[in-house]
Amino acid sequence: MTTILIVRHGFSESNKLKTFTGHIDAPLSDVGVEQARLTCNYIAENYAVDKVYSSDLSRAVNTLKPLADALGLEIIKEKGLREIYGGKWEGVAFDQLPKLFPEDYKVWQENVGIARCTGGESYPESQKRVVETLYKIAQQEEGNTIAVATHGGLIRGLECYLLGIPLEEMSKTSYVQNASISVIEYDGQKFTLKERDIVKHLNGLCTSMGKGI
């Protein structure tokens, strides 16, 4: 059995500014740095991690860096773990999206699972990307326990896949919180989601996506 710890990156500067980040390389905020420390301590105390993987964006890399440093492990960076690509939405404040891109943002609000960021990715595309990447990692790391740092939108799409929820019903699901841990097991054929959105280690230092995003 392969155990995969899916970690959402800590609270970033763009989370604080409430802008659509996507592939922009936004750094962790001071709160995010502390969340990362708490998350890495919790993982080190409760799991024997063999490998550390991450999106190549710094907010994800730096979320698991304390763990990798403590274990003397390299962080293996995978572009396939990046957040959904926002196209023209990247760097735009969320409250400006309905004004600048009314038609596409209306779909995002009404049926996010089939929406496409203007000039960017759709959720079906980003879901396919993260599922393929995770299968590749799991098959390479058979029998290991691995920590994987990625992003809120990608985790939401991944969870729909794991739970058999059609993307057309994604709006019924919620984002996991920053620096949360979700536990997946891989038996060599399929994934099983065992726990989601673990945040008890954050001691109340919790942050999440706002409503309507």
Catalytic residue IDs: 9, 83
Are residues 32 and 173 in contact, defined by beta-carbon separation less than 8 angstroms?
A: no
Q: 50: which residues sit within 8 A by CB, 6+ positions away?
A: 141, 144, 145, 146
CB-based burial, 182-197: b 16+ in 10 Å, e otherwise: bbbebeeeebebeebb
- Measured CA to CA, the distance from residue 95 to residue 20 in angstroms comes to 10
Q: 203: which residues sit within 8 A by CB, 6+ positions away?
A: 38
Alpha helices, H only, 47-122: 58-71, 97-100, 102-110
